[in-house]
Structure 1
Amino acid sequence: MNKGELAAAVAEKTGLGKSDASQAVDAVFDVISEGLKKGDEIRILGFGNFAISERAATTGRNPQTGEPMEIKASKQAKFKPGKGLKDAING
């Protein structure tokens, strides 16, 4: 399912127009992204948690030349599903 299909499904479930549902989906994604960018953890009860994980700098190898190279430290978004989501998937 892509973002457009998600917006269409939200429109169908809520009775909103497709344009309004698309704006709502975009707004949810924007709020989650902005919160993570500020370093906040986003907790949605029954669904899951979004958080930022820090990756340390490491030394890797260039696959073409085999030369060692430095891989910069970075941040990654992580998602941990909540009990409600796990139960919905496995139930």
Structure 2
Amino acid sequence: MTKKDIIEEVHQRTGLPRILVRDVLRTSLDIIKECLKRGEEVKIVRFGKWQPVLRKTKRVKHPTSGEMIQIPPYVKVVFKPSQEVKKI
């Protein structure tokens, strides 16, 4: 399902104008992204939570040269579904 499909489905179920639904969805997604950039957890009850997790520096072997290289620390976003969503 794409963002366009979600907009159409919400429009069909609620009768709200597509443009309004699109703007609300875009704004909601922008807010989620901004919170994650700030390092905050985003939790939607009965759906799940997005959580930024800091990955530590690690040393790995370069696949072609075979030399050991160091990967700097980075932030990865992890999604944990709620119990309700896990049952699907």
**TM-score, reference length from structure 1:** 0.83
Report deviation, 1:14: 2.2
Task: Tell me the residue number matched to 1:43.
Answer: 43
Q: Which residues of 2 match residues 1-91 of structure 1 at below 5 A?
A: 1-87=1-87, 89=88
8 Å Cα contact 1:8/1:22 also seen in 2: no
Report deviation, 1:6: 2.1
Q: Report the Cα distance in structure 2 between the residues aligned to 1:64 and 1:2, rounded to whole angstroms.
A: 38
* Deviations, residues 2-49 of structure 1 (Å, cap 9, x unaligned): 222222222222222222222111111111111111222111111111
Runs of 4+ in 1 over 4 A off after TM superposition: none
Q: Report the Cα distance in structure 1 between the residues aligned to 2:85 and 2:24, rounded to whole angstroms.
A: 21
Q: Report the Cα distance in structure 2 between the residues aligned to 1:16 and 1:59, rounded to whole angstroms.
A: 52
Which amino acid is the alignment partner of residue 60 of structure 2? Answer: G
**TM-score, reference length from structure 2:** 0.85
Q: Report the Cα distance in structure 2 between the residues aligned to 1:60 and 1:13, rounded to whole angstroms.
A: 50
8 Å Cα contact 1:57/1:73 also seen in 2: yes
Q: Report the Cα distance in structure 1 between the residues aligned to 2:10 and 2:66, rounded to whole angstroms.
A: 49
Counting aligned pairs with the same residue, the percent is 30
Q: Report the Cα distance in structure 2 between the residues aligned to 1:62 and 1:11, rounded to whole angstroms.
A: 50
Structure 1 unmatched runs, 5+ = none
The root-mean-square deviation of aligned C-alpha atoms, in Å, is 1.5
